[in-house]
Structure 1
Amino acid sequence: MSRRLLLLLTITCGVAVGNVYFPQTIGPLVASGLRVDPESATSVVTAVQLGYTAGIFLLVPLGDRLPYRPLVVVLLGLTGLGLLAAGLAPGLRLLVAANALVGIATVVAPIIGPMAAGLVADDKRGVVSGTLLSGSLGGMLLSRTVAGTLGEWLGWRAPYLAAGASVLFIAVVMARVLPTTQPSSGQRYLALLAEPLRLLRVEPDLRRSCYYQATVFAGFSAVWTTVALLLTGPTYRMGASAVGMLALVNAGTMLCTPIAGRQVDRRGADRVNLVCLLGVLASAAVLAFGGLGGATGLAVLVLGTLLLDIAMQSGMVANQVRIYALRPEVRSRLNTAYMTCAYLGGSVGSWLGVQTYARFEWSGVCGLLVLLAAVALVRHLAGEMPASGTTRQADARHTTGEGSRSPRCGIG
């Protein structure tokens, strides 16, 4: 794993993941441009997240069955075409359908993660996972900023068209730089699809990693889906670019995920998870004052969303390092189970956030975040005392550098 390759993979993760999140910023612009109510426009966000969940389940297992280079390039190409179709959609229904297609295809980040984990030594896996996640986070944040600004200048279609062109360019680059790899599995496709479900049944550490991320990501999605409604509503009366600028302020989170990865390598995933869950609860307490409006409320939103982003992303690093240490030969399928659960939670969280905001406004969304984080924290504390042998062995491998590297990820 050269630094150049790691940088390019990090950029690719950011470009791909950004496609899932920038629709959160331009929802009000879509509503006015297509003459629908804002709540209906949020169905675009739900569609792309549900599509992403489906894509993870249906396509990420192919990372164990197919060489990475053609798989990643084809998915990037389909994503670019889907984004262009969304930018040209004449109505909400076709826009929702195009976003679902984009979500299904833009799953290269969870495919790249297992590949990169197999290209480095065990004691560097946390740092590499954190670096890739910082790229995903950068795409998540910067895509919102760019989309909000472009949308206000040129209309809601511009972000989709610009994203489509960017993804197609990245596809050409990846066709040239990705290493040649050999598949680790010869299983049939249907058997690959069944494997993540079997792994969920037999791997307790995988189940709890999925549980932590699904609940926390649900709260995260609820906040970021409804913060656009808050900022553009009567409390603040701002434009879509304000949502993007709020995300840009949180770009500092990109610096935290590699640090979190180092802490996981040194202290183990469980300790980092505990700190992150407490951080999510603290962010909910801060965000609750965001409904005040004015400069004070805006400052609170900046601080609260920053804390939420750091806690959620750092917890994701811990969870991924835990599952990558379980079985190197099935990392893509482990990641399929994990990411499917995470984004299913995110999709449900977006829907719950909109419903909660409609009935209880911003304070209700903050209460929902508290509830979800508390459920995850109770599960973590209940399982910490009888910690599984798998976790202890995984932490030991990180400490001693033991464990095998995946044979499929060598450069050939």
Structure 2
Amino acid sequence: MSAASSLASTAPTPPALTPALVWLMALTCGLVVANIYYNQPLLGEIGRSFGVPDRQASIVATVTQVGYTLCMLLVVPLGDKLERKRLILLMQLGVALCMAAAAWAPSFGVLVGASLLIGVFSAVPQLLLPMAAHLARDEDRGRVVGQIMSGLLIGILLSRTISGYVGAHLGWRTMFSAGAAAMVLLGAVLAWRLPTDRPGFAGSYASLMKSLFTFTRELPLLRRAALVGGSMFASFSVFWTTLVFLLEGPPYHYGSDVAGFFGLIGACGALAAPLAGRAADTRGPDYAIGIGIGLSGLAFGILLPGSTWVAALVAGVVLLDVGVQATHISNQSRVFSLIPEARSRLNTVYMTGYFIGGAAGSLVGGWAWAAAGWPGVCAAGMGFVALAFGFSRFYGRA
């Protein structure tokens, strides 16, 4: 028996996973993860509000993803040790308070600090996904994960549409205030409907954290999934962090509401999530991952003329979102199948790599935009997709 297997404890029999509970989890994932992305269409307005340039304003998006990554690394593993419902409700309260703090931020520095904490407390989906995988039957796991991921992905994309519209007409502070109120209401529903789910890990927090390194060392499939997922999410973040800068400048001169509307277009890609989950169940994760990487590479080729041709932006957004999400869901389906009793920790390793990639993509996107404009952004996105292909094709295959 490997050390990784010895660190996975036997969990108690889980409660039944009903369709209504799946939809509640999907809705929760969408609403909570939206907190991370409300700021992206608003970066131009935020910069003007505090008198900072676009490159500095993009730090708000970067630190939010950094906070999300820190929580996944340090808190989400507790989903294998502590009762998940209580942990989720505590995080709901935290994100509501931080969203309110961002809405009333008196300076750019305070907003950056609040954004970091928003990212920290918005990692609720990374507790719900292992919970759903734990409750689902083996033959349905990919489909259930795909359905919940549909909610998460729609939340990611529609958050930009909503925040862009609200920011253009009511101001960016109103969007953060509305997000805080939504978290309070959602917390009340979860307290009422979410079942208790006590995992079986009985060790200390130190041994829990140590097991992350053991799993990473002993499971090459886990390492490959994290590297592929991180590279793909980096390409996704390169595009979405800089899109608002392109659309607010010549030749478009659009406001944040139009920039956010592209999230609505991209939400079409979320419809592919359940299909990707079924493909991972029936044909294996590698099949869907290969398709996802190919579609994302094609997307950046189509996006390149988007600096002057809006139809190219529309087509590229759909392809990019389908490609990235198909890859992500297939990766998660694979990760959740490795050691069932350690799904929160396995998800922590995978999602930490995923959001390190996202934060890197936001940072590189800002640099690429400042240095080379839209062609630089597309080149950076294509570079990350190529990196994902290399990891998927060659890493850990021995």
Fold conserved between structures, TM > 0.5? yes
Partner residue, 2:87:
71
Partner residue, 2:111:
95
The equivalences for 1:6-21 within 5 A come to 6-21=22-37
1:351 aligns with 2:363: yes
Alpha-carbon shift at residue 272 of structure 1 (Å): 0.8
Matches of 1:74 and 1:28 in 2, distance apart?
Answer: 32
Partner residue, 1:333:
345
CA contact (8 A) 1:218 1:345 kept: yes
Partner residue, 1:230:
246
Matches of 1:194 and 1:368 in 2, distance apart?
Answer: 35
Candidates 34, 44, 69, aligned match of 2:50? 34
Secondary structure at 1:25 match in 2: helix
Alpha-carbon shift at residue 21 of structure 1 (Å): 1.1
Q: Which moved more, 1:97-106 or 1:373-382?
A: 373-382
Matches of 1:382 and 1:180 in 2, distance apart?
Answer: 41
**Deviation sequence 1:6-47 (CA, Å, 0-9, x none):** 111100000111111111110011112222222211111011
Matches of 1:24 and 1:185 in 2, distance apart?
Answer: 38
Candidates 53, 60, 69, aligned match of 2:76? 60
Secondary structure at 1:142 match in 2: helix
Alpha-carbon shift at residue 55 of structure 1 (Å): 0.8
What RMSD, in angstroms, separates the aligned Cα atoms of the two structures? Answer: 1.1
Matches of 1:172 and 1:381 in 2, distance apart?
Answer: 45
Matches of 1:355 and 1:190 in 2, distance apart?
Answer: 38
Alpha-carbon shift at residue 207 of structure 1 (Å): 0.4
Matches of 2:210 and 2:356 in 1, distance apart?
Answer: 17
Matches of 1:387 and 1:371 in 2, distance apart?
Answer: 22
Partner residue, 1:368:
380
Matches of 2:79 and 2:143 in 1, distance apart?
Answer: 22
CA contact (8 A) 1:269 1:318 kept: yes
Partner residue, 1:196:
212
**What number of residue pairs does the alignment pair up?**
382
1:159 aligns with 2:171: no
Alpha-carbon shift at residue 368 of structure 1 (Å): 1.1
> Which structure 2 segments of 5+ residues have no match?
1-16
Candidates 150, 154, 158, aligned match of 1:138? 154
1:252 aligns with 2:268: yes
Matches of 2:392 and 2:54 in 1, distance apart?
Answer: 37
Candidates 125, 134, 139, aligned match of 1:118? 134
1:214 aligns with 2:230: yes
CA contact (8 A) 2:96 2:180 kept: yes
TM-score normalised per structure 2: 0.94
Alpha-carbon shift at residue 370 of structure 1 (Å): 1.4
Partner residue, 2:391:
379
Matches of 1:124 and 1:171 in 2, distance apart?
Answer: 27
**Deviation sequence 1:315-338 (CA, Å, 0-9, x none):** 111000101110001000000000
Matches of 2:188 and 2:213 in 1, distance apart?
Answer: 34
Matched letter for residue 320 of structure 1: Q
> Which structure 1 segments of 5+ residues have no match?
389-412
Matched letter for residue 9 of structure 1: M
CA contact (8 A) 1:33 1:156 kept: no
Runs of 4+ in 1 over 4 A off after TM superposition: none
CA contact (8 A) 2:265 2:317 kept: no
TM-score normalised per structure 1: 0.91
Alpha-carbon shift at residue 379 of structure 1 (Å): 2.5
CA contact (8 A) 2:234 2:361 kept: yes
